[in-house]
Each structure stands twice: as structure tokens, then as C-alpha cells.
Chains A and B, each alone.
Chain A
Amino acid sequence: MPSRRQKLSREEINSLFQTYQENNDPEVKRVLVDAYMDLVHSLARRFANRGEPLDDLVQVASMGLLKAIDRFEPDRNVQFTTYAVPTIVGELRRYFRDRASAIRLPRGLRERSHALNAAIQKFSQEHSRSPSVAEIAGEIGLTEEEVIESLESSEAVAVASLDTTTDEGDLSLLDIVGGEDKALEMLDERLSLAGAMSNLDAREQNLLYLRFIEGLSQTEIAERLHISQMHVSRLLRRTLNSLRQNLSGTEMRRPY
């Protein structure tokens, strides 16, 4: 198997796709992902300067790449990039579309929120822990009230519900969480949430797994997924709201 970061020929790429289609080998998928990470970065950069951190855009574009790899059919004799580029760009556009439908924050608050985001990441990397509000306020020269306001405003950036089923049905949970699926089953059993969980997309399920089964903190999840802590916080909140709504919908309200 070709090593990572090696320029692959079209024949090698096709061969890898054939292999992946036959046995869903995650190692083959990793090689394919690695081979196209430059494309992911290049497409993510196209959408930079629109108010979203580049790291988050790379993460979104990577999700598009994973979808493209799973759905690509090498037998159709089309180059992978021909198929992947619109898929990845579509994922990025959907990301902005979802966010554009939300409340538009005042520019000052938005900029403060970005500065806060960067400061939290920097602090977490330097100190290997999440900062307190006071620490982060001192770091970027804001009052604690301004930091709290910015933290909350980041929650309002996107209000679109994530419980809409996306077209990710062919990406199994196993693909996302590797060999740890037994623990996820345990979560399902423990909560009797099978129905509600199945309405969440793979990313949301993965997030719950990392937070509540692996017990990672938001900062640790952010590092693992290469996104910001604030983004993890937003995703987690929306995922939990979706889960609660799904559950409430399946249970008659009891008289108290």
C-alpha cells in the first residue's frame, strides 16, 4: 500500500478505491484522505475571510471528502477530483447556508468572539487545560462580562436544527468511531436512546461518544477533531437539544 503524503498515480488511486469498495478497509480510506488533504485545504481557503476560522472550514471540507470517498464509484471512469470538488464545496456551502440563516451578530461582537476563540485555543495549547473566564479576559484585555457575552453570542450564530437527517446514511458509525462501537452500544442501552440516536447524523453521534463515553472535555474533543472549543460547545448544545426533542417526541407528557 502506498505510504501517506506520497503523490499517487491515477492507477494507484483507482486501485485504492477498488480495494476500499471491496473491503471498506479504514487504512485504505486513511491513505485516500491523506492523498486529498491538499485539495481539502485549498477548497477551505476559498471560503476563508467569511468570518469562520480556517480550522473549522478544513474540518467541514474534510467531512465532504469523507462523503465523496464513500460514494465514489471508480467504475464510472470519472476522476475522483471531478466528483469530490462539488461534494466538498457543497458541504462548505451548506455550512455557510445553515449559519447564514441565523441571527447576524454585530460586527464588534463577532470580532470579539473570534478573538476570544483564538485566545482560548492558544491558552489551551500552552497550558494543556481550558482557561477560566477571568484568565481569558486578562489575556485579550476584555472584562469578564464581555467574555461571558461573547461566549453566549457564539451560541446564537447558528440556530439551524441539526436533527434533519442528512444524506450520510451510508457512512456507518463504525467508520467514524473505529473499533470502539461496543461502548457506543452501551450508551444506547444505558439510555434506551436507540430511536433518538438514530436521528442524529454520524458527526453528532461521534460527538456524544467522545464527550460522554470517552469522557473527553470540550477542549480535548476540539484538539481531536481539529476544531475550536467554542465550535464543540455549539455542536454539543445543538446535538443535545436535538436528542431531547427526539426523545420528547416519542414520549407522552406525564401529568405531574
Chain B
Amino acid sequence: MIPLLSSKTFDDMEKNKLHDEVNIAVPAREAMSKVVRMATTAVASRASLSIDDADDLNTAVEELFRSFLSQHTAGEVDFCVDYIFHDDRLEIAAHGCILHNGHGKVGRYSRFLLESLADSVREVTNPDGGLDVVLVKNLPGS
């Protein structure tokens, strides 16, 4: 089971504005997957991740995007992702994504994939009461 956390993590983050953040919002359409990938690669590059790690992260975020696409009508909502640079890790929060704690074949597949590609995966309730999926990738040397 993916642990369901409170919004404490985000509250703490709100109080601490020391971290650089990149936010993107793209229309939930298949054609936008390349934009999401390129943004993720660019962020991974900024975080000095290796090409291997950047590609893993890319695949993980793309999986979140595809999961989001399957849960929403194309073009109706935006897929919003926050990339948060910490000293020792990169956090990626995808808003409005639900993994269903790995229920169903696709859910289990998504969970397995994300857990394999990121250093940690968790679902959190955001300040609006919705669910976000947060991926963490530790940075080299941390």
C-alpha cells in the first residue's frame, strides 16, 4: 500500500521557501507528452542527474501523465506538475493523480513502475483536498 500522508509535507514546504520550484501545466492531451518529457529532462539536467536517472524520471512522469489522461477527459483539465529542488533530492508532485493504492492491473503496474524508477512514491492530500502523487529522486552524492 502506498502510504496516504496528510498535507503536512506541503504545509512545511509552504513555510520554507528556500527551495527552487518549477511548475508546469499542460493540457491533458496525448500530444503534450513530449512537452512533459522535455520539461522533466530539463529539470533533471538542472538537478545534475545522470542521463540514466533523468530517463528513469522521464518515464515515471510520463506514466503519471498517462495515468492522468486515462482519468480525465482530453483537454478539459490541465496536468499540473511541481518540480521542487531540495539540497539532497528532487521532488515531483503531480496534481490530481490517483494510483488507487495499486488496485486493478493498471494501478498495480503504475505503482510497480513508479516505485522502480523513483526513490520513493507517495500519495498525499493537497490543500484543496485532492490527491497528488509525489515522486522523490535522490540527488547524486546525497
Contact = CB atoms under 8 A, between A and B. Distances in A.
A219 B44 CA distance: 17
B104 A254 contact: yes
Contacts of A254: 100, 104
Interface residues of A, number: 40
Contact of B54 (A129, A133, A145, A248): A133
Interface string A188-223: 001111001000000000000001100001110000
Contacts of B66: 244
B48 A134 contact: yes
Contacts of A131: 50-51
Given A244-B106, A248-B106, A218 B45 contact: no
B105 interface: yes
B55 A233 contact: yes
A242 B63 CA distance: 12
Contacts of A190: 108, 112
Interface string A115-127: 0000010000000
A148 B42 contact: yes
A236 interface: yes
Interface residues of B, number: 32
B105 A132 contact: no
Contact of B49 (A132, A136, A151): A132
Given A130-B52, A191-B112, A218-B55, A247 B105 contact: yes
A95 to B, nearest CB: 22
Interface string B107-140: 0110011001000000000000000000000000
23 contacts: A129-B50, A130-B52, A131-B51, A132-B45, A133-B44, A133-B54, A134-B45, A145-B42, A148-B38, A155-B34, A155-B37, A218-B52, A218-B55, A237-B62, A243-B109, A244-B109, A247-B105, A247-B106, A248-B70, A248-B106, A251-B105, A254-B104, A256-B98
